Amino acid sequence: MRLPGDPPLLALGWGDVQALDHILRGYLAYLHKKGGDCTQMRVLEGLRERISMLLAAGEEGEGILLFTLPELLALKAAVQGFRQLIVRKIPASPERDGVPKLLLSLQQELTGMLSHYVN
């Protein structure tokens, strides 16, 4: 049972964790090429490292992924940026068109989580 004031939760299945790893890998590659914000890249690289360790435990392994506020802010920006990259760089197709919708849903979920902490 969740109580008022409990930190917001983001339920992640194994596939969701793998998807976050792919999002972060792709977006970090873009930021490195573009010469993005070093602080944001450092936060995202640390988050990706923790996700990689969780994935290395295997699908049957259990783990908890707690996010700091800077990680949530950076993850929201990464999801938004990755979504924009997909729309701009990949030609429209039924497969491609579903991905930005899913990323927008994740972005909105992260925005809702952050609304508890950031005005």
- Contact (CB, 8 A) for 114 and 80: no
Residue 5 lies in a domain: no
Full-model pTM: 0.84
Q: Vertex 20, ends 53 and 14: CA angle to 5°? A: 65
- Say if 8 falls within a structural domain: no
Within a domain: residue 4? no
Q: Is residue 7 part of a domain?
A: no
36 vs 97, more confident: 97
Flag whether 119 is in a domain: no
**Contact by Cβ (8 Å): 118, 73:** yes
The number of domains in the chain is 1
Residue 58 lies in a domain: yes
104 pLDDT more than 70:
yes
Report whether pLDDT(1) > 60.
Answer: no
Residue 35 lies in a domain: yes
The answer to whether position 18 is within a domain reads: yes
- Domain containing residue 95: 14-114
The number of CA neighbours under 13 Å toward the Cβ of 115 is: 6
Checking if the pLDDT of 9 tops 70, the result is no
Q: What is the mean pLDDT of the chain?
A: 86
